[in-house]
Structure 1
């Protein structure tokens, strides 16, 4: 039997098609061999498939579709397509949540005859939507505001108008709730294409403001301060000062010794659970008081040359001023006031005190008296004999050991001389001589 060689250029992984069979290698002593070629036909394998079901979220574009196959050869995962399958579905980016069929058409595989490809489904699932309560505030004893919220997650131009049911709100805060922070919950919204979650917010109940006004007060100088009071405005809910944790305190810097004027009354220190405070100052006005001049001094048997201390006083302790008319001369020694009687006649002295920052002017007190023209001394001496002034023959003689300055007045108070001369002619009569701040009556014969 001749040995014939078959040569076929095909393997188990060769694509479907026609492959020639080439013969060779035959020999024999009595024959010559001619070869007639044949063909090996590789037919397409039968194949069936199914479109894989898949999910996506509402508002997203469709991802790539895929299929699973039964009948693949040679460990293939997918056939080689001579014509790519065209997937058909009505679901697009704007399609609502639901299940949509997916089919395929216009396909051809190189090595397979595809009997059937079962339809699959595209399931569109709800998109996450977050509703968050906006924080808000209000005053104590005030109705809760209308709560609002912010949404995050809408797509496809959607907004809250697509909600089948709008959200509701709840909070423990009522009109009577104290100042503080209260959670505001949100719930109950519904929308076809969204899975809704919620974030609570806060309602802050703020304090109201009470206006505390210091009452104006008046008192007189050198009296105790009156009780300082105040007025509070702004309570609500029929509340009064009884709800205060600490009552206001009224203060002033004025003391019993403070001068007349206006002093601020401050208010501070109030505390309350549901109120803040606005403080408005007041004024304590200290007014002047009256004063009285006391002058019990009597003026009797007043003679030319007498020196008299004026003894009027004011119960305020303020110094007295004098308005004097007549033949007298006023002079002061420290805080004491004196008059020298220089001549006979009527004298009027008005004691005055014109007031101060704390006292009203006092009512004047007037004293009247008469200076008599009576006998006078002839000479003036001092214990150490340094002062020796006398009259002689119509002269006033300055016989002091030193240059003694003297003043000489007539009984009408007219100055006749002042200086240090030893002899001054005055003629006969009574004169007043002033020396060393004192006045003396001398008679010239």
Structure 2
């Protein structure tokens, strides 16, 4: 199995092949890469992906501002951990909503039934009104207990969709992925409209539809129940109908006036770009990072609005080395940082975008800061796996024990590694952590 670190920054594959030679990879590594690359596309072509990124960047930025205030008031000496959710009211609310709609991954055997459940109220920052947060609860057969309840959400839909596409492109590989979260969404769908999962391409469009909502689990169940009440069945509810319904939807952000799906999608994409630009802070060193991010989000808008059938076409295109849809997308969007089993770091830039692998490594470093300040003062830098293959800093220092415990003490002034470049430009160069 590989993994994908959300917010479009890192894909890990199991295998020894390098990204520039992916046409020489074995089938297992290609299959794993495709699965994780689908997650990358989900993050830049769905409302839930954009919303997830927007929340991550927003929380990251607010948390860094909060930490900076604490540092300034404490003469550059701080104790850890610093609770990120005390940064401000919106950070706490965003995290509650994000955690609930993501869903649960506890191991279960199968789904027995489902029901909606009220969780809590969120507060509209525009007018102070309460916004009820509801989810779908799945009653499942557990492994060590007869029954177990889990929240049905984004993780099940994203993983179910990526797993489905992976298995359609590489059908002869044994699917060893666990039932939850990879297969559970399909059973929920068939529970509402029996036999719906028999048409795999329509199933992909339905999962894609769900991801165009801020609460995918609730949206999926509500939509299917509505279509069932209108008389639709597994054969009459087609991809064309699903995508037409999506384009006719009205989307509400808090108390603001309803927007068309197109306008809502563009507004959310623009917000994600603004939040990232704000976090980067117009530092010249990161200008290419901002250009890269702006480009892939803009291209994602075009892909979503002009080619909604993207994921279905990807699923029927065959092996990624000859899949015209995949190759075209790969050329337009490039890749995040991609690692293999030996932890070689690779990167392919999008067409007509100038950004180096070293600059992309800086993005990965950026995401580590909240983990430092929410730790107990000991933090193991994941970039050490890159630096062990390529000593960094002016004096080309190798990885040492400080990288495993306190990487912020390792390099100073212009002899900085990737982690400490961010540490320096974010104003933490004189910080003492106790």
Shared fold (TM-score greater than 0.5)? no
* TM-score bracket for the superposition, by shorter chain length: under 0.3
| Bigger relative contact order, structure 1 or 2 (CA pairs below 8 A, ≥6 apart) | 2
The structure in which a higher percent of residues are strand is 1
The structure in which a higher percent of residues are helix is 2
Q: TM-score, normalised by structure 1?
A: 0.16
Q: TM-score, normalised by structure 2?
A: 0.16
